[in-house]
């Protein structure tokens, strides 16, 4: 069962604080270890990468040839390949519809201004390995980069005796240019600074463990990053019309991620909260990751009963969840009130796993309240813009006096002089 809390009470605030604190807690030992690894790779290059890979993974970094991706693709069950291909098509279509174009337009003062968009040149994608295998993460991170026109996508994944066949197949489907078996903080450092055959990239994307997250945080500035992802979370807003077994199933699906995952129900119905809690207990008995789910729901799961659905949305905006499900009689009526969420799922037949795998929008989403200012990963993340300006003598001249005035107000006399020398010239163009 999950605990049921009344909104505006001390228990509610305690629960919200616990949810917020779970992402902020980061072991100082992890940070210190990662700082040492990053500094060593920056100073020593590939020698440090190889040393740490031997130490942590008992392996040697190596590049996986394209033939291995093709072989994995052929070896995967046809049904899995078909599902991966379907997901890739939807992700590609979604991002192609989002892509922005370069544009130029007349300035109000007669010149021309605009913005030119260019894809990043090289992007690094981290894909977790070990006991976990996430081919969906390969697609969600790589396909938008390829749609943007990134010249080279370099994927890294921890070296294991047998790399995941579905992950390799997904890499082929997504269009990965290079796949390197190297993981952990040393992989992030190698992509940040360049190390031997591992190239420096412009941006790092993709999920990872606490060491990878700490390394990405330290890498930011030398390269760009997508975000520092925290534990996963779902928040479901449901009313009396919701099916309790649907809501319970969605809470459980999120809680199985890890012990720090958060699964919360907001409702205006005490009866629904009770029925969902009972359904959680019933369905849990048939699931595999019971210990993980129990710990997640015990520490970071609950049902909060609010006075109204509007109050539920207001609380959701305060939490700014990664995933927000609106399982109400009229979910679109609540949508205009939603301000902060990574992704919004409307209605009883739009569960969060649909977004995780197949719908098309990216499942790389802001967590831990950062949906207040971060956006989901998309093609936009792999494009950069440059401003462009073009003025003639005739369109510059009317603006010159004010430019000089502004430059002198800032004490930048050379800026003012750059304008004056043009005003002092004759009206004929210089030869």
Q: Which residues are catalytic?
A: 322-323
What phi and psi, each to the nearest 5 degrees, are found at residue 154? -105, 115
Contact 302, 265 (CB under 8 A): yes
Task: Return d(Cα 115, Cα 108) in angstroms, integer.
Answer: 16
Q: Minimal CA–CA distance to 191: which of 152, 136, 227, 230?
A: 152
> For residues 101 and 130, is the Cβ–Cβ distance under 8 A?
no
3-state DSSP assignment of residue 376: coil
Angle at 254 between CA 142 and CA 370, to 5 degrees: 65
Report d(CA 176, CA 145) in Å as an integer: 10
Tell me how long the chain is: 431
The answer to whether 357 and 90 have CB atoms below 8 angstroms apart is: no
Q: How many CA atoms lie within 13 A of 170 on its CB side?
A: 27
208 vs 157: CA distance, rounded Å: 10
Q: What share of the chain is helix, strand, coil (3-state, %, to 5)?
A: 50, 20, 30
Matching residue, tokens 């991966």: 84
* DSSP one-letter code for 220: B
């Amino acid at each position: 069962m999950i605990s049921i809390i009344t909104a505006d009470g001390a228990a509610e605030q305690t629960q919200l604080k616990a949810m917020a604190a779970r992402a902020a807690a980061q072991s100082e030992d992890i940070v210190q270890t990662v700082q040492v690894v990053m500094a060593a790779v920056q100073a020593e290059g590939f020698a440090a990468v190889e040393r740490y890979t031997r130490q942590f993974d008992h392996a040697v970094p190596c590049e996986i040839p394209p033939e291995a991706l093709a072989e994995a693709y052929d070896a995967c069950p046809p049904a899995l390949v078909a599902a991966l291909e379907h997901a890739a098509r939807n992700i590609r279509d979604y991002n192609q519809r989002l892509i922005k174009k370069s544009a130029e337009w007349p300035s109000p003062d007669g010149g021309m201004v605009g913005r030119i968009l260019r894809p990043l040149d090289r992007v690094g994608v981290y894909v977790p390995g070990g006991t976990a295998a996430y081919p969906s993460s390969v697609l969600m991170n790589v396909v938008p980069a390829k749609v943007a026109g990134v010249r080279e996508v370099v994927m890294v994944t921890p070296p294991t005796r047998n790399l995941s066949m579905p992950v390799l197949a997904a890499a082929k489907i997504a269009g990965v240019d290079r796949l390197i078996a190297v993981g952990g903080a040393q992989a992030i450092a190698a992509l940040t600074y360049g190390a031997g055959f591992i190239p420096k990239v412009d941006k790092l994307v993709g999920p990872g463990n606490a060491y990878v997250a700490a390394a990405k945080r330290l890498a930011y500035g030398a390269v760009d990053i997508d975000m520092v992802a925290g534990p996963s979370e779902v928040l479901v807003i449901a009313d009396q019309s919701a099916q309790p077994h649907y809501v319970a199933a969605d809470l459980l699906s999120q809680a199985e991620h890890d012990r720090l995952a958060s699964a919360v129900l907001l409702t205006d119905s005490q009866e629904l909260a009770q029925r969902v809690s009972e359904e959680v207990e019933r369905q849990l008995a048939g699931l595999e990751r019971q210990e993980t789910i129990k710990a997640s729901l015990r520490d970071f799961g609950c049902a909060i009963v609010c006075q109204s659905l509007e109050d539920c949305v207001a609380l959701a905006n305060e939490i700014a969840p990664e995933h927000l499900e609106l399982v109400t009689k009229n979910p679109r009526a609540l949508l205009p009130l939603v301000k902060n969420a990574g992704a919004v799922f409307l209605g009883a037949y739009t569960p969060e796993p649909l977004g995780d795998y197949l719908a098309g929008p990216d499942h790389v989403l802001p967590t831990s309240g950062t949906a207040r200012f971060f956006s989901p990963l998309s093609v936009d993340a792999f494009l950069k813009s440059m401003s462009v300006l073009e003025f003639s003598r005739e369109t510059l001249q009317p603006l010159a006096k004010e430019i000089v005035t502004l430059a002198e107000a800032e004490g930048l006399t050379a800026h003012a002089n750059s304008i004056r020398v043009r005003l002092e010239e004759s009206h004929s163009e210089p030869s």
